[in-house]
Structures are given as C-alpha cells and as structure tokens.
Amino acid sequence: MAEPSGWLRRFGAWLRTATVRLALSYLAIIMVMSLAFSVVFYHASARELARQLPPSSLFETEFGNFRPPRFNAFFEDRIAEGRQALLRRLVLLNMLTLLAGGALSYYLARRTLRPIEQAMEAQSQFVSDASHELRTPLTAIQTVNEVALRRKQLTAEAAREIIEHNVAEVVKLRALTDGLLKLARNDSASVVTSAVSLQDVVSQAMEQVVPLAQAKEIAVDDQVEPVMVVAERQALQQVVVILLDNAIKYGPDGSTVFLTSQTRGRFGYLKVRDQGPGIRPYDQRRIFDRFYRADQSRSKHVVEGHGIGLSLAKQIVQSFDGDISVSSSVGTGSTFTVKLPLA
C-alpha cells in the first residue's frame, strides 16, 4: 500500500492529540443528547400529526355518512408530507448541532487542557533547568577526578586537594538539590502556620549568616521589632536567610545591611536593604522566576548561585498568603520587602 501523504499523516496525528480526543468526547455527548431528543420529538410530533385525521363520526348525519371521496387519502398525504418536513428539519438541526457542537467542543477542550498543558510545560522546563544546573558541578567533579587518575603518581598532598575540591562541590550540590526539592514540592496545602515573632526569626536567621558577613566585613544593622505574623517558623527563617545571604553576597565588602520592620493595616513588613550594585528594572521583574540570574558581565566579582533562592522565598511567602517585592536603583542598593498577615 502507498505511504499516506504528509498532510494525511499530520491530520492523523492531530486527531490523536489530547485536545481533539477530549473535543470528540464532548461532541459525542452533545450528539447523543441531540439525537435522543430528536427521536423523541419526532415520534411525539408524528403522533400529534396522525391525530389531525378527522374521526369518521364527524361525517355521520341522519341521512348517512357523507365523507368526501379520497378524503382520508388526502389527509394521510398531508400527514406524510408533514412527517417528511419534520424529519428534514430535524436532520438539518442535527447537522447544525454537529457543526456548532464540534466548534464549541474544540473550544472547551482547549480551555480545559490549557492549564494542564501549562503545568506540564512548567514541569518539563523545571526538570531541564534543574538538570542543567546539576551538570556544571558534576562536570567539575568529573574533570578534576579524571585528570587525577591520569597522573602516574599522586602525592598525598595532591590527593587531599582533590578530595577537598570534591567535598566543596558536593556541598554545593547538596545545597542545590535541597533547594530544588523544596521548590518542586510546593505543597502550600500542607503548610502549618502559627503566630511567629519577626524579631525571633530574624535573630535566628542572623546566626546562620554571621560567618559570611564576617568574611566580607559586612555589618548587619537589626532594627526589627517583635511584630507577630502568621507563618511557619522554619520556612520564614529560610526566607530571611535567603535575603540576608543575597544582601551579603551582592553587597560590597565593608558595607552595611539594614533590617527593619513595620506594620500597616492587616500586614507586617520586613525590609532587608543592602548597599549592593542594585538591580535593573528589567531584572527586577524576573529575579523571582526560577533559575533567573541577572547578567553579571558588568560587575567586578562574579557571584556564585543558581537563581533558586528568590523563587523559593516567593513560594514560601505566598504559601502564608503574603508577598515579596523588591525596589532597587542601580548603584545605590536594593530593598527586599516581605509582607505577611499580622497574627
């Protein structure tokens, strides 16, 4: 048999798409209902038409039955014509239902499947971005070990250096996979919140970043007050660590990071301000996206990272019905604001 032509194959593939299959199911339901309704309607109307035939008692007189010749045949012809016309209209109506129902079904199927398709696209994008991020440290480990293996002799000192490098890369990999796991879970339904003091959370988070701040001689000016907000303590602490870590990472040596709190209406606010390079408006709109990193080609030092921290921070804060935002001007610094419902 000849190969089906290109367009036929494409049409076949289109017919097998999820959208078309779902649309066909919708259409089948519409058509079954329409046909069932037509059959019932046709039978009921045909019965009504048959009742048009006048009863023979109508022509009974005291002088006998005066039914005109071919009277019944005339009426029966009219009734048959009526049935034919009814059938034609019902067939037409069903054809129109098929066309309109087909279009409507396709539209509805697309609307139903779009969020599912988007979720699947986001999922596969996540997997491909995550694999890409994992590849860099893995390649580094592989290269260093392969080079070491090719050496005829390996001194204890060199071996130690290699192991140290491996451990450092594995630590980075762990941090990365931990972040990826948390991002992938995104299980806001299971978040258990309670009243949490911003002041407590901030001082605990500070303990984690002290070594980083000291290494760059960065001072952290903590003016946070004991504002009570609704959150999950550990997760909120992670948000503060992410913001402090960034403020220290991107801030210049010897600068200061300012931490303040505020309450307004039903919300409590935590602000983390740094004296870093600032973020361009174009990047400000994207830095909360997964894996997004602003172009660092113009900065003096390349800062390591994977573009996961802020998206994780946003995910966490939103699971508490809060929000996170940034205001920044290039050359002056950035302020990240976490908004949380007051307890």
Footprint of ligand ADP (CB under 6 A): 246-247, 250, 274, 276-277, 279, 287, 292-294, 305-311, 334
Q: Tokens at residue 42, please?
A: 């046709």
| Least separation in angstroms between CB 127 and ligand ADP | 18
The answer to whether 209 and 244 have CB atoms below 8 angstroms apart is yes
Half-sphere exposure of 339 (CA within 13 A, CB side): 10
Burial per residue of 33-43, b for 16 or more beta-carbon CB atoms within 10 angstroms, e otherwise: ebeeebeeeee
Nearer to ligand ADP, 148 or 183 (CB): 183
| Least separation in angstroms between CB 331 and ligand ADP | 11
The answer to whether 20 and 107 have CB atoms below 8 angstroms apart is no
The answer to whether 186 and 222 have CB atoms below 8 angstroms apart is no
The answer to whether 224 and 202 have CB atoms below 8 angstroms apart is yes
Nearer to ligand ADP, 97 or 133 (CB): 133
| Least separation in angstroms between CB 255 and ligand ADP | 11
Nearer to ligand ADP, 19 or 315 (CB): 315
Please give the residue whose beta carbon sits closest to ligand ADP in the complex. 305
Q: How many residues does the chain have?
A: 343
Q: Tokens at residue 96, please?
A: 């129109």
| Least separation in angstroms between CB 303 and ligand ADP | 7
Kindly compute the dihedral angle of the four CA atoms of residues 73, 77, 78, 83, in this order, to the nearest 10 degrees.
140
Nearer to ligand ADP, 23 or 316 (CB): 316
Sheet containing 323-329: give its strands across.
219-223, 256-264, 267-273, 333-341, 323-329
| Least separation in angstroms between CB 305 and ligand ADP | 2
| Least separation in angstroms between CB 317 and ligand ADP | 13
Q: Which helix (H) or strand (E) holds 195?
A: strand 194-197
Report d(CA 26, CA 106) in Å as an integer. Answer: 8
Report d(CA 246, CA 239) in Å as an integer. Answer: 11
The distance in angstroms from the start CA to the end CA of the chain is 74
| Least separation in angstroms between CB 302 and ligand ADP | 10
| Least separation in angstroms between CB 333 and ligand ADP | 7
Nearest C-alpha neighbor of 246 from the set 125, 333, 163, 154: 333
Half-sphere exposure of 106 (CA within 13 A, CB side): 9
